[in-house]
Amino acid sequence: MREKALYLIGVLAVVLMAYNLAEIAAQPSEALFYIPLAGVAGLAAVTALVAGIAFLRTRNFQFDALAVAATEVGLAFLAAGIVCGCFLTHAEGGRWWSWDARLTAALVCWLLYATYLMLRHAVQEPSQRAAFAAVWSVFAFLDVPLVVATIAWWKPAAGMRMDWTPSRLLNLLALAMVGTLLTVVRMRQEEARRELDSLRRVTHAI
Amino acid sequence: MTPITYGLIAAWAILVGYVLTLVNREKNLRREIAQIQAMLESGQASASAQPAPQN
A182–B22 C-beta distance less than 8 A = yes
- Domains of chain B, by residue range, sit at 1-42
Residues of chain A whose beta carbon is less than 8 angstroms from a beta carbon of chain B are: 28, 31-34, 37, 73, 76-77, 79-81, 83-88, 90-91, 178, 182, 185-186, 189, 192-193, 196, 199-200, 203, 206
Alpha-carbon gap, residue A65 to A51, rounded angstroms: 9
Report whether B33 contacts B41 (CB < 8 A): no
Report whether A145 contacts A46 (CB < 8 A): no
Comparing CA positions, the residue from A193, A159, A175, A205 lying closest to residue A69 is A193
pTM of the model: 0.86
Average pLDDT over residues B30-39: 87
pLDDT reported for residue A147: 85
Q: Could you tell me the pLDDT band of residue A159, with boundaries at 50, 70 and 90?
A: very low
The amino acid sitting at A9 is I
Residue A189 with chain B: CB contacts under 8 Å:
22, 25-26, 29
Stretch among A21-25, A109-113, A136-140, B3-7 having the lowest mean pLDDT: A21-25
B29–A189 C-beta distance less than 8 A = yes
ipTM (interface predicted TM)? 0.84
Alpha-carbon gap, residue A67 to A75, rounded angstroms: 12
**Nearest neighbour of A192 by CB, restricted to B10, B15, B29:** B29
Instruction: Give Dmax over CA atoms of chain B in angstroms.
Output: 85
pLDDT reported for residue A122: 93
Q: What is the pLDDT of residues A41-78, one digit of tens each?
A: 999 999 999 999 999 999 999 999 999 999 999 999 99
Q: Give the gap in angstroms from C-alpha B16 to the nearest C-alpha of chain A.
A: 10
Q: What is the pLDDT of residues B18-34, one digit of tens each?
A: 999 999 999 999 999 88
With a pLDDT cut of 70, the percent of chain A lying above it is: 90
Chain B residue with Cα closest to A201: B36
Burial of A42 (0-12, 13-18, 19+ CB in 10 A): buried
Comparing CA positions, the residue from B43, B8, B31, B47 lying closest to residue A88 is B8
Helix (H, G, I), strand (E, B) or coil at B51: coil
